[in-house]
Amino acid sequence: MNILITGGAGFIGSHLSERLLENSKNKITVIDNFDDYYPRKLKEANIKDFIGNENYVFYEADINNPDKLKQIFADNSFDIVIHIAAKAGVRNSIKNPIDYAKTNIIGTLNILECMKEYNVKKLIFASSSSVYGNSESDTFSEDLDISKPISPYAATKASCEQFLYTYSHLYGINVVALRFFTVYGPKQRPDLAINKFVRCIKEDKPVTIYGNGDNVRSYTYISDIIDGILAAIKYNKSAFEIINLGGIKTVSVNEMVETIEKVLGKKAMKEYLPMQAGDVNKSVCDITKAQDLLKYYPKISFEEGIDKFCKWYETAYGD
């Protein structure tokens, strides 16, 4: 299978490339622009083991450059596009909403236009649990109203889902939009909570907790997310689906810190501050649909995932 991964040098994209390259029949083409939201060297480290693999091709390119995208599509014959590229970060999107709209919405439209022009009929899209906003529902299922996003980042992901449906309807593109719930694991972005908290505890720096620490998330280990993406690649029962991918259980921020403390054998210095704009109160994943359609059953418990992350962190950054 000839697969295009956008954002393929990032956290999720590099893990996905690694798994797909285990099958020698897959040819993986990756686009990434090394966005400066976090250091380029981290993304270069993510993909260094793939460079030189005859089944791996890398383009340093921006999805906001339609001419470059068209050339890449013209030079290849893709069977499927896995579109992960996006400007990330809820809080930063509040400061730079126009940049987020340009990259996340217009960039996605550029991908869709290339798929239409070059007759690529399958798309997997990396959406986000942030689209649910501050839903009052006990659990977040795909049929909930998402018309009230509370950050520009969330608004861009919700907008992309609507454009995906439109292109699926008009041009026969089969789409699976996967709403990821708080993904963590080796190679995780340095600005995300688990990575940041582990670093702060190890360096004897205060751990900043926004709110009282009781807000909960469905943390999802990276290998479970990759399992879900691989299942979505095979899924062919309908033309358009939106599907949640989440972890085994929800965990509060306080529980998360306690788990890290236990794994590291070291107490955190906690600093509590008011909730920040754009942060949701809870994010509780209902994976019923993923179980039904994708046979998705997450395997990694939160405790096991934190242990795996901390071991990777020590290898990557030292004690």
CA distances to 96, 112, 122, 158, 280 from 164, rounded to whole Å, are: 24, 8, 11, 10, 25
Q: Which pairs with CB-CB distance under 8 Å and at least 24 residues apart come from 130-134? A: 130/90, 130/154, 130/157, 130/280, 130/283, 131/157, 131/158, 131/161, 131/179, 132/280, 132/283, 133/280, 134/280, 134/281
Q: Is 153 a catalytic residue?
A: yes
The active-site residue, picked from 59, 153, 219, 313, is 153
Cβ proximity of 57 and 33 under 8 Å: no
Quickly tell me which residue has 């994708």 as its tokens: 294
Which residues are known to be catalytic? 153
